[in-house]
Amino acid sequence: MTFEVDTNGRVRAVVIEAEGAASPSGGRFKIQLTGDADRVRSVVDCRRTELGFSLVFDDGRVVDVAATATGPGEWLLQFPHVDVTAAVDRRRRERAPSGGAAAAGEQRIKAPMPGRIVRVLVKAGDDVAVRQGLVVVEAMKMENELASPKAGRVKEVAVTEGMSVEGGRLLVVIE
Amino acid sequence: MATTLLIANRGEIAVRVIRACREMGIGAVAVYSDCDRNAMHVRMADRAVHIGPSPASESYLRIDAIVDAAKRTGASMVHPGYGFLAENEDFAQACLDAGLTFVGPRPDAIARMGSKTRAREVAVEAGVPVVPGTGAPFDADVSDAVIARAAEAIGFPLVVKAVSGGGGKGMRTVTAAADLVSAVRTARSEALSAFGDAAVYLERRLTAPRHIEIQLLADEHGTVVPFVERECSIQRRHQKVVEESPSTVLDERTRHAMADCAAKVARAVGYTNAGTIEFLYDADGKFYFLEMNTRLQVEHPVTEAVTGVDLVQWQIRIARGERLTVSPERALTPRAHAIECRIYAEDPDQGFLPSPGLVRALATPSGPGIRDDRGVAPGFDIPVFYDSMIAKLIVSGDTRADAIARLGRALDEYRVAGVKTTLPFFRWLIRQAEFVEGRFNTQYLDRVLVERKGLRFVEARPADDDDAAVAAALAAWFDAHHAAADAPVPSTGAWRRAGRLDALR
């Protein structure tokens, strides 16, 4: 099987071929990695662990990695020293990108995390300076004042005080 | 009949108290909110009582529900842990009124030391130096102009502090007069929602202070024993991130002087049970009383590691009226060096954005000199309602260098699968020259974080990308071939797709 894997913007084709019958608990695999310029071939003995995988490559190198699905085709790979996110076959999954890109210069301030709107400091039509506070969001017990990334005018305030918001929810539009 | 103790808390501290109960042959009762049904502290307890919906105000902060749970389960003692109701004198009083033994100080001591301005007065009367600042607090209705005049008198930079604040909440540093009004507004509002009290006061900000604190135990018979200091200067936005003991800067003489001051403050209020006196230690070697925490501290294991004294067991014994028999000399003599890291479900590479979600699996360090105080077990969905601490990792070694080397080893063994954690940040921090050489103060971490401009703490090497690509492809392969067996559950996507973080300040 061939997978197209994107890690940190590097896209590689990974060809995986089971040597003999692989069971749900693991198996031996021939691996071929084709990337920008490099090309890696090896055989890996792969065992599934409670975290993810224990890999022993044919040169004896050991890799213990936690693997968590974070979305369709998206994986969080956690090594002892570093976390890496990987997208598998993204191009195959992605539909046409949605339209509605923000007009030039228009800034859409969104909730960076789920939380509660404690205060709305501006209203539509207000002129705002750069770094002027717009909305105060309480999340994880801390209050965070979201500031305007630019000087401009408030085009829209999409929330009211006391409202609970999901991460990514539109709060304010600055034009 | 065996004693039963109810823990009015959750997470790792509830687990810590349950462990003490087990060792003392005391029954342990847990309380839990909706989202904590499957939490580790509930699973470990002897009995557990549901006390309400997930928001803390409807569960862990409900005095009536908790007192009722104690009555229903026949508990005779209540341990408040830290946070939530731990420093709420009404809760302590409600426990006493219900005939329960409160494992902590008396309500009047909590009230006096819980008000930062009144605590300052106590310290002044006890002859202990305090940081210059406003004597009386500003209530919610005091005008901006009055506060501005007081600020001018103290000078900038200064700190706006909530009278009832703690843990960095309700606290803002102001470097210029222009920022004063907005800082007071945020501090007031944060304090009002977190502590129900909008009163604030102003304090001069020392130029490069270290945060050094003295743990103490005091029994009901007049014995007060201060312990060797804890160094807690590694802070991010006034939240302690790393704590260690002993401090690299205190000599024997200063340690004893600071311990004496701490004991004086405790005696001045007739303090009982465990408490901590926090000091600011300035670059010139002078130290000032900062505040008192009238409860067990998050970082108490550091003291336990260097002295061998079980502080939680002593809390319970003191509450039962026993005499404190820890020798003052033992308490003040570190027999090791210990360091604690607070491991949070936060993404350090995105400005420490909270990253709650399902902890799918865990690998925890073990071996010599390791202690893992954890409140999260695999399969637990870290809720958004409370602070996102996963565990405290405490290491000890003969010397500070040994402890740092051991910490590096332990951090690499620690794996939390499924959520982003602050582990990569700690792996970076302990390799910084300032940390290794002990050259830091309370502003160190915030300063270097600004200087780094969001640079990743640990950069994946091309070889890591290759391994990740192989692992991801294998994961996809197993998904395709053996999907049903134990397919990992996807975590919520909302947090990963966090919006413009740079708009946060």
What is the distance, to the nearest Å, from the Cα of residue B426 to the centroid of all Cα atoms in its chain? Answer: 17
Q: Which residue in the set A29, A48, A143 is minimally distant from B190, CB to CB? A: A143
Contacts 24+ apart (CB under 8 A), B479-488: B479/A69, B480/A1, B481/A22, B482/A23, B482/A24, B485/A24, B486/A24, B487/A69, B488/A67, B488/A68, B488/A69, B488/B360, B488/B418
CB contact under 8 Å between B466 and A33, yes or no, is yes
The alpha-carbon gap from A109 to the nearest alpha carbon of chain B, in Å, equals 7
Q: Please give the average pLDDT of every successive group of 10 residues along chain B, which has 505 residues.
A: 91 98 98 96 97 97 98 97 97 98 98 91 95 84 89 90 82 90 91 87 90 98 98 95 97 96 97 98 92 97 98 98 98 98 94 91 96 96 94 98 98 93 95 97 94 87 92 94 53 34 34
Rounded distance between C-alpha atoms, residue B345 and residue B361, angstroms: 14
**Segments in B140-197 forming alpha helices (H):** 144-154, 180-195
Collect all residues of chain B within an 8 Å Cβ-Cβ radius of residue A70.
490-491, 493, 496
Q: First and final CA of chain B: distance in angstroms?
A: 55
Q: Are residues A11 and A75 in the same domain?
A: yes
Q: Are residues A55 and A113 in the same domain?
A: no
- Taking CA B78 as the corner, what is the angle to CA B76 and CA B83, rounded to the nearest 5 degrees? 175
* For residues A81-107, average pLDDT: 67
Q: Which of A1, A2, A4, A5 would you mutate first to test chain B, the one with the most B CBs within 10 A? A: A5
CB contact under 8 Å between B417 and A10, yes or no, is no
Residue A119, classified by CB atoms within 10 Å of its CB into exposed (0-12), middle (13-18) or buried (19+), is middle
Q: In the prediction, which pLDDT does B488 show? A: 43
How much of chain A, in percent, has pLDDT values that exceed 70? Answer: 88
Contact B371, B308 (CB under 8 A): no
Q: Are residues A87 and A137 in the same domain?
A: no
SS (H, E, C) A132-167: CEEEEEEECCEEEEEECCCCEEEEEECCCCCCEECC
Phi/psi region, residue B168 (left: phi>0; alpha: psi -120 to 50; beta: rest), is left
- Neighbour tally for A104: CB within 10 Å: 6
Rounded distance between C-alpha atoms, residue B169 and residue B176, angstroms: 20
Q: In the prediction, which pLDDT does A148 show? A: 82
Rounded distance between C-alpha atoms, residue B303 and residue B337, angstroms: 10
Q: Which domain holds residue A39?
A: 1-104
Residue B443, classified by CB atoms within 10 Å of its CB into exposed (0-12), middle (13-18) or buried (19+), is middle
Contact A43, A19 (CB under 8 A): yes
- The 8-class DSSP code of residue A103 comes to P
Rounded distance between C-alpha atoms, residue B454 and residue B58, angstroms: 37
Helix, strand, or coil (residue B191): helix
Q: Are residues A9 and A76 in the same domain?
A: yes
Q: In the prediction, which pLDDT does A40 show? A: 73
Number of domains in chain A: 2
Q: Distances in Å between the alpha carbon of B439 and those of A139, B104, B209, B278?
A: 33, 35, 12, 20
- Give the end of a domain, one of A88, A104, A120: A104
What is the distance, to the nearest Å, from the Cα of residue B310 to the centroid of all Cα atoms in its chain? Answer: 18
Q: Are residues A116 and A99 in the same domain?
A: no
Contact B186, B172 (CB under 8 A): yes
Q: Are residues A75 and A120 in the same domain?
A: no
Q: Are residues A46 and A117 in the same domain?
A: no
- Give the end of a domain, one of A54, A84, A104: A104
Q: In the prediction, which pLDDT does A37 show? A: 55
What strand order describes the sheet that includes A152-157? A107-110, A170-174, A152-157, A127-128
Contact A117, A165 (CB under 8 A): yes
- Neighbour tally for A37: CB within 10 Å: 5
Interface contact A116, partner B, CB < 8 A: no
CB contact under 8 Å between A140 and B471, yes or no, is no
Q: Are residues A78 and A135 in the same domain?
A: no
- Closest chain A residue to B361 measured between Cα atoms? A51
Comparing CA positions, the residue from A122, A103, A88 lying closest to residue A5 is A88
Comparing CA positions, the residue from B344, B295, B55, B52 lying closest to residue B193 is B55
Token pair 């470990």 is found at B44
- Mean pLDDT is lowest, of A1-10, A161-170, B372-381, B412-421, for A161-170
Q: In the prediction, which pLDDT does A38 show? A: 60
Q: In the prediction, which pLDDT does B136 show? A: 80
Cis peptide, bond prior to residue B226, ω within 30 of zero: no
CB contact under 8 Å between B500 and A149, yes or no, is yes
Q: Are residues A123 and A164 in the same domain?
A: yes
Token pair 């947090």 is found at B495
CATH number (domain holding residue A124):
2.40.50.100
The alpha-carbon gap from A85 to the nearest alpha carbon of chain B, in Å, equals 8
Q: In the prediction, which pLDDT does B411 show? A: 96
Q: Distances in Å between the alpha carbon of B152 and those of B19, B158, B176, B180, B276?
A: 51, 10, 10, 10, 32
Q: Are residues A135 and A156 in the same domain?
A: yes
Rounded distance between C-alpha atoms, residue A170 and residue B459, angstroms: 31
Phi and psi, residue B81, nearest 5°: 65, -145
- Mean pLDDT is lowest, of A51-65, A93-107, B54-68, for A93-107
Q: Distances in Å between the alpha carbon of B216 and those of A76, B32, B320?
A: 44, 30, 17
Q: Are residues A36 and A99 in the same domain?
A: yes
Helix, strand, or coil (residue B358): strand
Strand intervals (E) in chain A: 2-7, 10-23, 26-34, 39-48, 52-57, 62-71, 74-78, 83-88, 107-110, 115-120, 127-128, 133-139, 142-147, 152-157, 164-165, 170-174
Q: In the prediction, which pLDDT does B483 show? A: 63
* Tokens coding B47: 């009995």
Residues A125-159 have pLDDT tens digits of 999 887 788 988 887 766 777 878 778 899 999 99
Is B295 an active-site residue? yes
Q: Which of A77, A121, A122 would you mutate first to test chain B, the one with the most B CBs within 10 A? A: A77
Q: In the prediction, which pLDDT does B493 show? A: 36
Helix, strand, or coil (residue B151): helix
Cis peptide, bond prior to residue B328, ω within 30 of zero: no
CB contact under 8 Å between A168 and B499, yes or no, is yes
Q: Are residues A99 and A140 in the same domain?
A: no
Contacts of B39 (CB under 8 A, 6+ apart): B10, B11, B32, B375, B376, B380
Q: Which of B350, B457, B467 would you mutate first to test chain A, the one with the most A CBs within 10 A? A: B467
CB contact under 8 Å between B472 and A67, yes or no, is yes
Q: Distances in Å between the alpha carbon of B52 and those of A51, B34, B60, B67, B87?
A: 33, 6, 8, 13, 21
- The 8-class DSSP code of residue A7 comes to E
Rounded distance between C-alpha atoms, residue A172 and residue A107, angstroms: 8
- Give the end of a domain, one of A54, A75, A104: A104
